[in-house]
Copies of this chain bind each other. A is one copy, B any other.
Amino acid sequence: MKTPIVERLQAHGIKPSVQRIAIMEYLMGNYTHPTADTIFNNLYPLMPTLSKTTVYNTLKLLAQQGAISEISIDEKNLRYDADISSHAHFRCKHCGSLFDLPVKRLPSVATEKIDGFVITDTQLYYKGYCKKCKTKAPALC
């Protein structure tokens, strides 16, 4: 019997190695939009032979195959999300925290403008100040 993790990998054409399973499992258990580094640091104690390169390579592979999504809202690091359903992200410019936001559906582009293009990913990012940090926002004059 296959775990949901293995199923997810295979559904996206990815051979389920021990490392890939561990990384996918981590993401499916932690919807915290972690960085590659965070993932490595959390898995390393459980898997002392794990290499950082493998984490980077695997995340790139998973994202390429559409098994996870790569979030570039944080200018410094890429973040990863196993939730591949339609949703947006909000990032607080003061404290850096990242929130999921529901959207009915991500907007599509006027067909005539994008005719002949193939769209594989849509990302909707909001930036600003969260409830806690709102007082830190520069005056909007």
Contact code string A65-106 (vs B, CB < 8 Å = 1, else 0)? 000001011010010000000001010010000000111001
Copy number in this complex?
2
**Contact size class for A?**
35 or more
B residues less than 8 Å from A120 (CB atoms): 93, 127-129, 137, 140
User: A4 an interface residue at 8 Å Cβ cutoff?
Assistant: no
User: A62 an interface residue at 8 Å Cβ cutoff?
Assistant: no
Q: 5 nearest interchain CB pairs?
A: A121-B127, A119-B128, A116-B131, A120-B128, A123-B125
Please list 25 pairs of residues, one from A and one from B, whose beta carbons are closer than 8 Å in the complex, sorted by A's number.
A70-B75, A72-B73, A72-B125, A75-B78, A101-B113, A101-B114, A102-B110, A103-B109, A117-B129, A117-B130, A117-B131, A118-B128, A118-B134, A118-B140, A119-B126, A120-B129, A120-B137, A120-B140, A121-B126, A121-B127, A122-B127, A123-B123, A123-B125, A123-B126, A123-B127
